[in-house]
Structure 1
């Protein structure tokens, strides 16, 4: 079956006349393919199991708790460190291999593969409709014929895979408090932010007519440290960001004013990250894809972050998680999974610190799990990792912690630290009016 799937993939890549697939292919969703388009079967070696519907909440879990680890009893299979990294080189993203080779105290703890990703049934139903209706428009900068669900569950090119990641289900709305860390010369600086997201594309009851070229609304307010407290940001994100640019406003408590930001996209720097993170690395990649050429390389079995419940648990001190050069490897979990590999190469006429990116996209959830980052000389200069869990109370699959390692200077950036904060509220009442410049001003008073 795997060979048959590979033939279909190659045939699809050879002809990109239309993005949607026919009913003969779409009927495979929920049969030999999962409802989101992954291969349902395990691999021939038995090291990747079949997908059987994803994880269910473990005994003792109650909504509002930090998510209990359903796989806490799993035994570590093996470790990848400097002594044996060459043996596993073919299974590692280039950046992850470089991390192991660079730091003697960093290693990968590899555990049995658990295909935990799942979504609500309505997302599966919408994905089935999208398969035969969704198309890329505006040179790939927008989509039509899709609302809710994965737009391209049987992808034909790299840009479709990236759209699947951008639009994969993350809940309808969320209120959460977490921390980011800027680690320079081995010393972390923490910033706590109170954040809200209102998703449009995947909302329950959404129709194509209701989308109005809107993807999501996002807002945060800094609550610590004191010198930044009260600083706030609101973002209105369109689906097609070439047709309508992302709008962002920032509130400064120093002068109690709201200002429109000229740009918060592509290679513009994220506020409060000491220059370590560009705007488009949030959620591994976001925004318009128009500045890159996208190529679907292959689907491969790789060692990637997965089921990262250990680093998600309540009460862990942030200094225990955030090490001098990397996250604490004893709190990280890696598994063997099939991932889509997509290369993005910067188009001529544009500039960006990352001239080329290689994305590793989970087949089960369409989440980007790792990204190799290269400069204009083709030199590997960075690694992004997303350490995901299944938020089984929603249900959805998304990162709990994200990292961006700078391999030239040993500095790195971490986002998502929430171990000592209340757990995410996925039922919070929000609406578009909560994400206006006026709402930003009210929140700052």
Structure 2
């Protein structure tokens, strides 16, 4: 199968969905596929023809390993060795299961970039209440405002049986992340030489149904609340970003504020959206690059290409290991491939093309979205000349103990200037990630920023 070939299933699906371009929920009969031929989140239950992708049997169990006092789950696959490693020398053998971005990385960093491929494990499992919400959403949720908002949506995954590319994108935006989370993590933007200064963050978010004063009868337009505090280096310490992420960002744009510790003032930050510069990123990432992709989808036309089998970052327990230092991971040009893991999985391929009259530094984006978690695993970004500019990797680490398919480390590579940004590292952190807590909406107000940002 070459890069332009889809499975018979995907090809039939792509034609049917492209022609219907529906904005509506699916029928009850279609929704009954969930939990039978499809997983509760809409992935194909069966494995692939040659068995290299296994059938889904529920994901990792909660007792698949142990979790350390500092919150690191043990690796259930620690004894496995790579089946093979893709390099610049043998890439031709595997190019039908690689993205253009992966092939470009192998070409640019021929001496050092590698893709170690391990046995595939469909390890994603979520709580039953999320499965129930997804099935309910399948028959109730629809897109409104030209696809820029959702109606009758609950919890996560509005379109487990997607009918077009925009619905797949919405599944990523709203995917289940534990409802709420607090973590310390580290970001690096190394120079071409590999030298970097780590930036330390305290980050937390709370989805609306984890807000104590949330009213289901009048849910409003906020999808989740997000807060990020820089704790080091000293020149940036105390700066805080606050975001109220809205479901319909065209009708009611994302509300964002920045607290500058040096000036001791809070100001609105409308630039933290679309291709506005993201704080502390040294120009290596724009606002909607965070979390592989976030925010309003209205500036692009989204085309559902179909499904492919490709090698994606998966079960990245080794990359998240507390035995590693940040300097073990960050190296010139890219992450150290000694610590990465890739597996063959089915993904939804979606292409976003910038609409006529709209502005963004990326004229086209191509997402490769894991069918089991709805997490964007790989993303390619093209400039206005049609040249591949940046490529991103999202290294998923399933938190089996609490049934959260967690995006740990994400990296965005600039194929032109040879630099990259990596965030989500927490190997040297001592405080565990806290999931599933409830918050008051008052914790996410501009007035609360001053207290959060005291040096």
TM over 0.5: yes
| 1:94 matched residue in structure 2 | 100
CA distance in 2, matches of 1:205, 1:67: 32
Cα 1:202–1:306 change in 2 (3 A) is farther
- Deviations along 1:404-425, one digit per CA (max 9) or x if unpaired, are 0000010100110101112201
CA distance in 1, matches of 2:25, 2:438: 35
The equivalences for 1:275-290 within 5 A come to 275-290=283-298
Aligned counterpart in structure 1 of residue 247 of structure 2, from 239, 244, 256: 239
Contact 1:95 1:372 in 2 (8 A): yes
Aligned counterpart in structure 2 of residue 175 of structure 1, from 172, 182, 196: 182
1:118 positional shift: 1.2
Aligned counterpart in structure 2 of residue 151 of structure 1, from 154, 158, 173: 158
The equivalences for 1:45-444 within 5 A come to 45-56=50-61, 57-61=63-67, 64-103=70-109, 104-186=111-193, 187-200=195-208, 209-421=217-429, 422-444=431-453
1:60 positional shift: 3.5
CA distance in 2, matches of 1:196, 1:28: 35
1:239 positional shift: 0.7
CA distance in 1, matches of 2:379, 2:53: 22
RMSD: 1.8
Instruction: Decide which moves more: 198-207 or 341-350.
Output: 198-207
Cα 1:208–1:140 change in 2 (3 A) is farther
CA distance in 1, matches of 2:310, 2:354: 25
Contact 1:167 1:201 in 2 (8 A): no
Instruction: Decide which moves more: 28-37 or 256-265.
Output: 256-265
CA distance in 2, matches of 1:23, 1:202: 28
Aligned counterpart in structure 2 of residue 40 of structure 1, from 45, 48, 58: 45
CA distance in 2, matches of 1:302, 1:88: 9
Residue 93 of structure 2 aligns to a residue whose secondary structure is helix
CA distance in 2, matches of 1:303, 1:430: 38
CA distance in 1, matches of 2:25, 2:45: 21
How many residues are paired up? 444
1:19 positional shift: 2.5
Cα 1:60–1:148 change in 2 (3 A) is closer
1:4 positional shift: 5.3
- Deviations along 1:130-152, one digit per CA (max 9) or x if unpaired, are 11111111011001122113100
Contact 2:213 2:441 in 1 (8 A): no
TM-score (norm 1): 0.96
CA distance in 2, matches of 1:228, 1:31: 51
Residue 378 of structure 1 aligns to a residue whose secondary structure is coil
CA distance in 1, matches of 2:213, 2:86: 46
CA distance in 2, matches of 1:407, 1:125: 42
CA distance in 2, matches of 1:431, 1:100: 47
Contact 1:172 1:204 in 2 (8 A): no
CA distance in 1, matches of 2:40, 2:436: 25
Contact 1:169 1:202 in 2 (8 A): no
Contact 1:147 1:202 in 2 (8 A): no
- Deviations along 1:186-211, one digit per CA (max 9) or x if unpaired, are 32221101111111157899875343
Cα 1:358–1:223 change in 2 (3 A) is same
1:429 positional shift: 4.6
Gaps of 5+ in 1: none
- Deviations along 1:343-396, one digit per CA (max 9) or x if unpaired, are 000111122221101100000010000001111111111101100011112211
Gaps of 5+ in 2: 1-6
1:431 positional shift: 2.2
CA distance in 2, matches of 1:237, 1:59: 34
